[in-house]
């Protein structure tokens, strides 16, 4: 597997995960009562605790996207640029 393939892979992973993150945020902002009622039937918890769980989920998901998708993609971009500069 070459750098170009890995770069493309991490680029698409980042795009897909950021899109899912944005959709999640939009749904949580647009329909918080619907989400709470849908999940409240499965997990009985007060609304305040549910809000904390959602906020924590979004924060962790954002960190995971950055660490496991965006950082490797940027590292591969740097490696590819350095290889182009050093090869005659």
The DSSP result for 30-51, as a single string, is: H-HHHHHHHHHTTS---HHHHH
Burial bucket for residue 69 (CB in 10 Å: 0-12, 13-18, 19+) = buried
Range of the domain at 66: 3-86
- Residues 41-52: pLDDT tens digits? 898 999 999 999
- Residues 18-37: pLDDT tens digits? 999 999 999 999 999 999 99
Q: How far is CA 37 from CA 32, 48, 55, in A?
A: 9, 13, 17
How many independent structural domains does the chain possess?
1
Question: With 80 as the cut, is the pLDDT of residue 88 above it?
Answer: no
């Amino acid at each position: 597997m070459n750098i170009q393939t890995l770069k493309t892979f991490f680029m698409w992973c980042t795009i897909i995960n950021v899109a899912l993150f944005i959709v999640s945020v939009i749904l949580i902002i647009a329909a918080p009562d619907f989400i709470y009622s849908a999940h409240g039937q499965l997990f009985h918890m007060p609304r305040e605790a549910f809000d904390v769980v959602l906020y924590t989920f979004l924060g962790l998901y954002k960190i995971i996207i950055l660490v496991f998708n965006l950082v490797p993609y940027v590292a591969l971009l740097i490696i590819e640029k350095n290889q182009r500069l050093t090869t005659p």
